[in-house]
């Protein structure tokens, strides 16, 4: 029986943001024609906590900036996020048909669909229970995301640069899961995407509405974050391309193979336990 795990390659700069050395001839997979070449999948991507703010909204969409019921768009610096999923057990071929969820805080450090939360930095109004902005999922190889047609093994999202909240460095949560026909999760795992402190501080001090908060810079850096370890930096801190005026792009790559992971089972909050194969 196969189970999901992660492999991710050593980092290499690419035109679309952070690219990784994975397998030959992946230029058709990554956005903007980014060419990547390597002989095999390499470093494992660690499984990182889902945290307290996971909600199974089942919102299948690529633009997550607004509420599904039509409320105004979340303010912030635009971020185009590309996530590639590979099957390392099949020579790192793109893995189609899996759901990839993202969720993260807004520019003021608040998550949607929460009855109470403390962001600090002058942010008030922690009750966002009627909202679902900055949450959504896409299916690899089936949803076109930010492209004209679906891309093998890839999902993509239009979102904003996350804001900071007390006790955590800026991050985006990622959940990879295989769904049954009824929509139940039958396998998967969670991890998190981080940005460099320099990139975070540039956005927080130069762009609105981030710079209205105090402190402007994220008081919790990548180095002292309680979830991101020094060993995770090469796999989970992504490079970005772009600018505040034009928005940014980032790419995160995940490879699946045959070892059990622990973020499957019931979709109650939190989700724990083992499960059957992803692929």
Q: Is residue 186 part of a domain?
A: yes
* pTM assigned to the model: 0.81
Assign 204 to helix, strand or coil.
helix
In a domain, 209, yes or no: yes
Would you say 18 and 239 are in contact if contact means Cβ atoms under 8 Å apart?
A: yes
Looking at residue 210, which CATH number applies to its domain? 2.60.130.10
Asked, for residue 261, whether it belongs to a domain, the answer is: no
Let me know if residue 275 belongs to a domain: no
Is 266 a domain residue? no
| DSSP states of 25-68 | --TTTSGGG-----SS--SPPPP----TT------B-SB-SS-T
- In whole angstroms, what separates CA 185 from the centre of its chain? 18
How far is Cα 204 from Cα 216, in angstroms, rounded to an integer? 6
Q: Which residues of 188-213 are buried (b: 16+ CB within 10 A; e: fewer)?
A: bbbbbbbbbbebbbbbbeebeebeeb
Number of domains in the chain: 1
Task: State residue 178's pLDDT score.
Answer: 81
Ranges of the chain whose pLDDT falls below 50: 1-40, 258-279
Q: Tell me which residue range forms the domain holding 139.
A: 11-256
In a domain, 5, yes or no: no
- How many beta carbons lie within 10 A of that of residue 214, not counting itself? 8
In a domain, 173, yes or no: yes
45 belongs to a structural domain: yes
| Under 8 Å between Cβ of 206 and 214 | no
């Amino acid at each position: 029986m196969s189970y999901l795990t992660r492999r991710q390659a050593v980092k290499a700069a690419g035109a679309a943001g952070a690219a990784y050395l994975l397998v030959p001839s992946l230029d058709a997979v990554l956005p903007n024609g980014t060419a990547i070449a390597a002989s095999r999948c390499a470093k494992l991507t660690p499984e990182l906590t889902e945290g307290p703010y996971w909600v199974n909204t089942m919102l299948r969409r690529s633009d997550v900036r607004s509420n599904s019921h039509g409320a105004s768009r979340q303010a912030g610096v635009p971020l185009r996020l590309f996530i590639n999923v590979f099957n390392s057990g099949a020579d790192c071929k793109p893995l189609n048909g899996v759901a990839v969820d993202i969720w993260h805080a807004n520019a003021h450090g608040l998550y949607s669909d929460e009855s109470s939360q403390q962001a600090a930095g002058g942010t008030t109004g922690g009750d966002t229970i009627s909202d679902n902005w900055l949450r959504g999922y896409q299916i690899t190889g089936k949803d076109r995301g930010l492209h004209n047609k679906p891309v093998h093994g890839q999902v993509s999202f239009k979102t904003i640069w996350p804001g900071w909240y007390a006790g955590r460095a800026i991050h985006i949560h990622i959940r990879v899961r295989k769904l049954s026909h009824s929509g139940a999760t039958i396998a998967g795992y969670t991890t998190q995407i981080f940005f460099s402190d320099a990139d975070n501080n540039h956005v927080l001090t130069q762009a609105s509405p981030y710079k209205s908060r105090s402190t402007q810079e994220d008081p919790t850096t990548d180095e002292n974050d309680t979830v991101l370890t020094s060993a995770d930096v090469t796999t989970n801190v992504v490079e970005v391309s772009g600018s505040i005026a034009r928005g940014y792009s980032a790419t995160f790559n995940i490879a699946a193979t045959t070892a059990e992971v622990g973020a499957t089972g019931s979709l109650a909050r939190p989700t724990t336990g083992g499960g059957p194969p992803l692929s």
